[in-house]
Amino acid sequence: MIVRPQRVTFRLGLADVDTALADVLRCVRGAGGELVALARDGVAHDVQVELAGDASVDALAADLEDLAGVEVLALVDEVLAAHERGKIRVESARPVTGPDDLALVYTPGVARVTRMIADDPTAATRFTTRGNLVAVVTDGSAVLGLGDVGPLASLPVMEGKAMLLREFGGVDAIPLLVDERDPDRFVDVVARVALGFGGINLEDIAAPRCFEIEGKLRQRLDVPVFHDDQHGTAVVVLAALTNAARVVGRDLSSLRVVVQGMGSAGVAIANLLMSAGVADLVPVDVDGIVEPKRGAGTDPIRRRVARQGNPRGLSGPKDVALADADVFIGVSGPDSLTVEQVRTMSPDRIVFALANPTPEIEPELVRAEARVVATGRSDHPNQINNVLCFPGLFRGLLDAAATAVTDDMKVAAAYAIADVVGDDLAADHVIPSAFDRRVAPAVAAAVAGAARDAGHVRPGSGGSRREESAAALREAALRAVARGRAGRAGADGAAGTGGGEG
Closest Cα to residue 387, out of 346, 424, 420, 436?
436
What residue type is 496 in one-letter code?
Answer: G
What residue type is 478 in one-letter code?
Answer: L
The reply to whether omega before 224 is within 30° of 0 (cis) is no
The rounded distance, in Å, linking the Cα atoms of 177 and 154 is 8
Greatest Cα pair distance, the chain, in angstroms, is 95
Instruction: Please name every residue paired with 147 in a beta bridge, in sequence order, or none if there are none.
Output: 143
- Mention every residue, 6+ apart, whose C-beta is less than 8 A from residue 15: 68, 69, 70
Cβ burial of 444 (10 Å; 0-12, 13-18, 19+) is: buried
What residue type is 236 in one-letter code?
Answer: V
- Whether 161 is a known active-site residue: answer yes
The rounded distance, in Å, linking the Cα atoms of 284 and 290 is 5
- Whether 106 is a known active-site residue: answer yes
Q: DSSP character for 311? A: T
Q: What is the gyration radius of the CA atoms in the chain, in angstroms? A: 28
Catalytic choice (161, 216, 318, 410): 161
**Catalytic site residues?**
106, 161
